[in-house]
Amino acid sequence: MNISVIVPLYNEAESLPVLHDWIARVMREHNFSYEVIYINDGSTDASWQVIKQLRESDANVHGICFRRNYGKSAALYCGFDAAKGDVVITMDADLQDSPDEIPELYRMITEENYDLVSGWKQKRYDNKLTKNIPSKLFNATARWVTGIKLHDMNCGLKAYRQDVIKNIELFSEMHRYIPYLAKNAGFTRIGEKVVQHRKREFGESKFGINRFVNGYLDLMTLWFLNKFGKQPMHFFGLIGSIMFILGFIAVIVVGAMKLYALAHHTSAMLVADTPYFHLGILTMVLGCMLFLAGFLGELIIRNSSERNNYLIRETL
| pLDDT (tens digit per residue) in 75-120 | 999 999 999 999 999 999 989 899 999 999 999 999 999 999 999 9
pLDDT for the residue 254: 85
Give the model's confidence band at 171: pLDDT under 50 very low, under 70 low, under 90 confident, else very high. confident
**pLDDT > 90 fraction of the chain, expressed in percent and rounded:** 52
Q: Which CATH class is domain 3-228?
A: alpha beta
The answer on pLDDT for 310 being more than 60 is yes
Global pTM reads 0.77
- Average pLDDT value for the chain: 87
**pLDDT > 70 fraction of the chain, expressed in percent and rounded:** 90
Give the model's confidence band at 126: pLDDT under 50 very low, under 70 low, under 90 confident, else very high. low
The answer on pLDDT for 203 being more than 70 is no
Amino acid identity, position 64: I
What mean pLDDT is predicted for residues 4-32? Answer: 95
Closest CA to 81 of 1, 6, 189, 12: 6
The answer on pLDDT for 172 being more than 90 is no
Domain positions in the chain are: 3-228, 233-302
What mean pLDDT is predicted for residues 58-86? Answer: 94
* Residues 79 and 121 sit within 8 Å (Cβ to Cβ): no
* Residue 131 CA, distance from chain mean position: 19
pLDDT for the residue 204: 64
* Residues 247 and 283 sit within 8 Å (Cβ to Cβ): yes
* Residue 80 CA, distance from chain mean position: 15
pLDDT for the residue 60: 96
How far is residue 66's CA from residue 73's CA, in Å, rounded to a whole number? 13
